[in-house]
Amino acid sequence: MTISFSTQKEFSVEQLFALYDSVGWTAYTKDISGLQTGLTHSGLVISAWEDEKLVGLIRTLTDGQTIAYIQDILVRPDYHKQGVGSQLMRQMLAKLTGMRQIVLMTDAREENTPLYDWYRSFGFKSYEELGTTGFAIFDLGEAEANL
């Protein structure tokens, strides 16, 4: 297996659907055109390919100087445990060298617990470990109702 990496930001509907569907990220697959736009507007995108097959992707929202937010990192399940995700993360972190903050958020579901040590292996710490906290709005409609 030979994996190549690219910083392109444009992908076909089929490529994105196959990748995001493979990991069950249905919030994205319900609006592929919105995902395409989001990727185009992301600060940094690195994708992993086996020939013409999109097998992994990491993207970051950033101001380019002080903060970066890793929004997505995903690898098709049939490519797990082959170093694809680690290579994506290493390449992204290399591009983010010098940033004051690099933020990553993930679901607290039990099936994600094994990923915590993987994130830590790259230097990430939980908010608790850093003595900080975080807040988020996931449904803007709900937030607007509270205004």
The answer to whether position 32 is within a domain reads yes
pLDDT at residue 111 in the model: 82
CATH number assigned to the domain comprising residue 97: 3.40.630.30
Return the axis-axis angle of helices 13-22 and 32-41, rounded to nearest 10°: 100
**Full residue range of the structural domain in which residue 62 is found:** 4-104
Is the pTM higher than 0.85?
A: yes
Residue 115 located in a structural domain: no
Domain count of the fold of the chain: 1
Distance from C-alpha of 127 to C-alpha of 105, rounded to nearest angstrom: 10
Residue 41 has pLDDT above 80, yes or no: yes
In a domain, 84, yes or no: yes
Whether 44 is in a domain gets the answer yes
